[in-house]
Amino acid sequence: MLRDKGCPLAYLPLTLSSHSEPSPPSQPAIDGLLEIFPHWGGIYGWEWTPGQEIGLDLRTATGRLRSTVTARASAWGTFDTAFRYCCPLREGDWFTLAQSNGALGSFELRTPQAVADPTEDTIVGSGVPNMRVQAMVEYPPDSYHSLETVSGADGSFSFDFTPLVDWEYGAPIQVQQWLNEYASVTIRDDTPGLVVLQP
């Protein structure tokens, strides 16, 4: 309280007024997932709101626009689109994503590198640090075995399938690494980035 100089025995209440700026409206969250296949420029989406329109800009590392595509999620929340008809995807390319609900996102294309050893039933590689990585081996045909880990601070990761399967050379293999909470990159045994050692 403040003391009134004109009335030394009286005290006047001190009223504190606060003024705060209104909080900006929160940006809608990206509500689906993207899986990028750099080898053929394909992008697959799932878990999107049915009917949601998704726009993707592809830019070079210096910001030059290379192409734009638009897709609409199906009734099952999926879509697929591609840049393969215009330009191959390159390491360091930037994607900017815009949903019709106002959600925005951007990320850099970073492709993992991995080596699979059928003799040891292992896969080792490197990619984006501290992110989820999944590996899948199909052996025998139509029998799928998957493992998941988190890459280290240096981006390294490894999988040991010994407890699950003793696969042979020629078995389909893929490695999928997440770039952020909604976008991932997948490489396969028949694409650059994943080398399978011969016995």
Listed by start position, the domains of the chain span 33-108, 113-196
Residue 70 pLDDT greater than 60, yes or no: yes
Per-residue burial over 103-118, b = 16 or more CB atoms within 10 Å of its CB, e = otherwise: bebebebbbbbbebbb
Across the range 102-124, mean pLDDT stands at 96
**Is the model's pLDDT at 11 over the cut of 70?**
no
Q: Please report, for residues 46, 81, 123, 124, 174, the alpha-carbon distance to residue 136 in angstroms, rounded to integers and kept in the order given.
A: 19, 23, 10, 13, 5
- Do the domains 33-108 and 113-196 sit in the same CATH topology, yes or no? yes
Give the global pTM.
0.83
Amino acid at 119: T
pLDDT grade, residue 6 (50/70/90)? Answer: very low
The CA-atom distances, in angstroms, between 38 and each of 16, 23, 119, 190, 192 are 59, 40, 28, 12, 9
Could you count the other beta carbons within 10 Å of the beta carbon of residue 158?
16
Who has greater pLDDT, 18 or 180? 180
| The architecture CATH gives domain 113-196 | Sandwich (2.60)
How far apart CA 63 and CA 56 sit, in angstroms, is 14
Q: Report pLDDT for 2.
A: 39
pLDDT at position 62 over 60? yes
The predicted pLDDT at position 27 comes to 65
Architecture of the domain whose range is 33-108: Sandwich (2.60)
The percent of residues above 90 in pLDDT, for the chain, comes to: 70
